[in-house]
Amino acid sequence: MEGISVISNPTVDVRLTSTLSEFESNKRFNRGITIAEFKGKLEMVVGIPASSMELQLFSIQDKFLLKLEDNEALFGSYPVDDDCRIHVIDQSGQGAEFSDVSKVEKFEISNDAYEKRSDSVRSFLKKKKLGKFNEEGELKKEELKEAAEEKEKAACADITTGSRCQVKVVGQPTKLGTVMYVGTADFKPGHWVGIKYDEPLGKHDGSVNGKRYFECEPKYGAFVKPTSVTVGDFPEEDYLDEI
């Protein structure tokens, strides 16, 4: 009976991760190199000195298998398969130092000095009359903002707490509920109407950022703009009768 020989692929594709990066990369290596040679190739990939590396081998399912500790052993002598993962740990401690941006010297310039520079973003915006340096555009924007606030304020005058209402917000289904709050709020500028929906289609229980504006069950409460609210005879539907 003739002998049977098994020829394995001389190279292997592995996934690489390290303590110096949040990203994963894929590289191909020769199974015939030693672990010491493998570490040398990893230096250019992960940026960790070979002498400071600890190598951990994980399966395709990311289950820890073992450490690659013998520098003289062949890379292929370990159970390294395609798509397994090798995690490189920096034992020098330099990685943490380099990743700490609080230790990086920052460039600072006074507002007066920055104002005099001709190559700054501020100088460019001034020349092109863009952003806040576009007086006409900013004035128009302020006028539109004031008009919207006046429209919201006027809409609030026709909405009273305890009223039944219909809420129509663009991109959302029409909802029915009861008005629970009308006025300004701390969470965002402008005028708002607090609604207790008939169904759990809201976002909270009448409390936002720790401040309570009204009472209702969780997920039944919401705040909407007054222009999205129509007050009227909207009786609560009996959903239990639906089939």
Print the domain residue range for 201: 164-236
Q: Is the pTM of this model over 0.85?
A: no
* Domain count across the chain: 2
Task: Out of 97, 113, 136, pick the residue that ends a domain.
Answer: 97
Q: What's the CATH number where 59 sits? A: 3.10.20.90
Burial 78-88 (b: 16+ CB within 10 A, else e): bebeeebbbbb
Task: Out of 51, 73, 97, pick the residue that ends a domain.
Answer: 97
Task: Out of 55, 79, 97, pick the residue that ends a domain.
Answer: 97
CB 65 within 8 A of CB 58: yes
State pLDDT tens for residues 144-198: 888 888 989 899 999 999 999 999 988 889 999 999 999 999 999 889 999 999 9
Distance between CA atoms of residues 228 and 212, nearest Å? 22
Q: What's the CATH number where 195 sits? A: 2.30.30.190
| Confidence bin at 8 (pLDDT 50/70/90) | low
Q: How far is CA 180 from the centre of its chain?
A: 33
Contact residues for 161 (Cβ-Cβ < 8 A; gap 6+): 179, 180, 181, 182
